[in-house]
Amino acid sequence: MLSKILSGGLAGIEAYPIDVEADVTYSQLPSFNIIGLPDVAIKESRARIRSAIKNSDYPFPSDKITVNLSPAGIKKEGSGFDLPIAVGILVATGIIPQIDLGDKLFCGELSLNGKLKPFHGALPLAISIKDSFKTFILPKANVHELSRLNNGIQVIGAESLKDVVNHLTGAVKISPEEFRAEEPKINSDMPDFEDVKGQEYVKRGLEVAASGNHNVLLIGPPGSGKSMLAKRFPYILPDMTEEEMLETTKVYSVAGKFAGSDFICERPFRSPHHTISYAAIAGGGTYPNPGEISLAHNGVLFMDEFPEFRRDVIETLRQPIEAGEITVARVEQTVKYPARFIFISAMNPCPCGNFTDPRKECRCTPYQIQRYLSKISGPILDRIDIHLEVARIDYQKLSAKRKGEKTEAVKSRVIKTIKIQTERFSGKKPHLAYNAYMNGKEIEKYCTLSTEAEEILKTAIIELGVSARAYDKILKLARTIADMDESPGIEAEHISEAIGYRSLDRGIWC
């Protein structure tokens, strides 16, 4: 007998419907084949499905079983097909009646004893192919991913294959999940900028970065507080929009990293260690999985000890910083994951770290320093607008009782400056409506310099040796600083401050 069950597969963070057809015919030679471009994990599922059905006290047919995953042209990946295949076989053998199955979507991994285990990507499935079904039957452990989804889908969370069978035969019905829409939970003990004493110049630079979506390089000796500053950065950014929450949560769902009970509603802060591999940062691997750069989507990617990262890892950043996504090449197909983030990198000024420290001696030779700096390739440096020197603060400032400005105050200014840009670039996609994303034409149109400002920029180019490629960056930064000042034109003080954030161009090191 033939059965047809609806399931779904993933392409990046989107999903598409897949029909699981099972055909069980009498044969003296029992066999169990899965066709329709399954990957290794799906082929291995035959053993799991056989054990799961037997251990759930149902007979496993000793006939010829053919399972077809269609459309046949697309490579199918992952372990979510265990449940639909098992259900298909039980329908084909008459244990489950073939009625009312057309409007149900099945996904889930089976363990040998018949229990259901969570699979990756429940949320994208529930969103992308919502028009193909009415009820989503999936492992109980995945149910929380759908808690904020309000698109009329009925969600049935099951613990085991037996639960699913009992539900479908009507023996023991599982009641649909009832979700209560709650306000997003915002972390109340977030790290606050007021804890960072001194460092006013760096904090100002980070505010400029947040205001115009500029990428940052922090340069300073060990212990100067680079990580402490970076960790506080996501909280001066505006709250995530509903759309951003949904997108980022989809990434976490596909990565199988959705541990919380609610959507991701705070901007992610990812800080991978410098020993991270290419696959872990970019995504991919045996199972298609988003990497660190995608987990930072709509948030912040922080790379401390930046020159220590592997060269191929550093180079990976080019595409996402430019295009907001990453293409991962895989066997027989490529996958795209979103990866739009503000990039903050940090490094010591030299291999020993003491070069800019007035109280310590640097023993590095100019050659060693040059080599250290050259590890960050030109193309990546080209995509970083702000260079901030972080000095070690002296003891007096550290012990001072006076606290810094609160994060909330900085954030409200950032939101105001972003609003100016939203109005300026109205009609553009929200993530492009930032000064950092201006193209040549827009720079010409929106970055009008006062005569005095123009003089300063000219002098900087000639005397400080500001490179041509840094020229556009200075103008974009100056535009953001002028916006923070609510000034329509770019004045002398705006351009001077912008030049100050380009220390690597000024060649102060070598």
| Interacting residue ranges for Zn ion, rule: CB under 5 A | 350, 352, 355, 362, 364
CB of 503 to Zn ion, least distance (A): 17
Bridge partners (DSSP) of residue 217 are 345, 387
- Which is it for strands 2-11 and 14-25: parallel, antiparallel or unpaired? antiparallel
Which one, of 489, 484, 390, 392, lies nearest residue 446 by Cα?
A: 489
Give me the least distance between CB of 348 and Zn ion, in Å please.
Answer: 8
Q: Residue 194 and residue 494: Cα distance in Å, rounded?
A: 25
Alpha helices in 297-344 (DSSP H): 311-316, 318-323
Instruction: Quote the least distance from Cβ 507 to Zn ion, whole Å.
Output: 17
Pick the closer one to Zn ion by CB: 289 or 503: 503
Contact of 106 with 113, CB cutoff 8 Å: no
Sorted by sequence, the CB contacts under 8 Å of residue 321 that are 6+ apart come out as 215, 343, 380, 383
What are residue 216's DSSP bridge partners?
344, 386
Q: Which is nearer to Zn ion, 176 or 223 (CB)?
A: 223
| Token pair of 471 as six digits | 């020229």
Degrees to nearest 5, angle at CA 384 with 379 and 386 = 150
Q: How far is the CB of 461 from Zn ion (least distance, A)?
A: 30
* Assigned token pair, 408: 């909330």
The least distance separating Zn ion from the CB of residue 365, rounded to whole angstroms, comes to: 9
**Considering the complex, what minimum distance in angstroms separates the CB of residue 353 from Zn ion?**
6
**Would you say 58 or 355 has its CB closer to Zn ion?**
355
Assign 465 to helix, strand or coil. Answer: coil
In the bound state with Zn ion, the residue whose beta carbon lies nearer, of 11 and 362, is: 362
Residues 6+ away with beta carbon under 8 Å from 427: none
As measured in angstroms, the least distance from the Cβ of 366 to Zn ion is 10
- The nearer residue to Zn ion, 74 or 362, going by C-beta atoms, is 362
Determine the distance from the C-alpha atom of residue 179 to the mean position of all C-alpha atoms in its chain, rounded to a whole number: 26
Q: Is 42 left (phi over 0), alpha (psi -120 to 50) or beta?
A: alpha
- Strands 116-117 and 109-110 come out as antiparallel
Residue 368 Cβ vs Zn ion, minimum distance, rounded to whole Å = 7
> Which of residues 289 and 348 has its CB atom nearest to Zn ion in the complex?
348
Cβ closer to Zn ion: 94 or 366?
Answer: 366
Return phi, psi of residue 213, to 5°.
Answer: 65, 40
Q: Which two tokens stand for residue 154?
A: 């009925």
Q: Judged by CB, which is closer to Zn ion: 66, or 368? A: 368
Least gap, CB of 355 to Zn ion (angstroms):
5
Closest to Zn ion by CB, 372 vs 425, is: 372
CA 493 to CA 450: how far, in whole Å? 10
* 222 vs 489 by CB, closer to Zn ion: 222
Q: How many residues does the chain have?
A: 510
Residue type for position 291: G
Give the nearest distance from C-beta 373 to Zn ion in angstroms: 11
- Using the minimum distance from each CB to Zn ion, give the nearer residue, 142 or 356: 356
SS3 annotation, 395-433? HHHHHCCCCCCCHHHHHHHHHHHHHHHHHHCECECHHHC
* Closest listed residue to residue 263, CA positions, set 239, 287, 285: 239
- The DSSP symbol for 51 reads H
Closest approach of Zn ion to the CB of residue 370, in Å: 12
Question: Phi and psi for 9 in degrees, rounded to 5?
Answer: -120, 170
